[in-house]
Structure 1
Amino acid sequence: MTTPLISAAARSGRGSIRAYLDRGEHPATKVPLLGADLDNPPAVCGGCANTVLKRLNDGRERLKCGLLPRGTRGLRGPDLRDSMPACEQYAAAPGAPPNA
């Protein structure tokens, strides 16, 4: 019998997005998450100027990262949430509320 190469903890049903966040990487850009310090409070994807809104044919909308090129299916990586921690390439969107 062969031994699996992936540990049991990694196979325990946690999603790939959560796994990237646990490693301190942004799931879309694979860039380290923006660190928290007093001069630069943590930011979220919902307030980033690089996000784009993708409208699906059925009327639903998905938040995507505009830093990623469109794939062959017109996608830009995983769906983002407004509250997802931002990466180091974060740029405040004009008129975005300050992060507290």
Structure 2
Amino acid sequence: MSQIIPLLNFEEGYREKPYIDTEGYPTVACGIRIGPKGASLNNYTFTVPRDVGDAWLESFVKTTIIKMNTNPSIVAAMKSCNPARRDILISMAYQMGVSG
């Protein structure tokens, strides 16, 4: 069973209230960018409960997996991995992009 959502939440951390990430972008939940670089947090007056953030993240992960499945080399690597290693490959693609 995949543990990708808990893994990404662990790697990224989770904050219900918007914050500025290390690159200067307004961000919320488990590292989801919500605005342009340098935007004021005053523009974002909401919170994202954990279950909503997990659903949002799951949607992004599904899109990442679809992109991964278009690359034969990645498909071959995924097939040879156990579930934990597959989750790590998905995490890497999610965080760095499928092209790396």
Larger relative helix fraction = 2
**TM-score, normalised with respect to structure 1:** 0.24
* Max Rg structure: 1
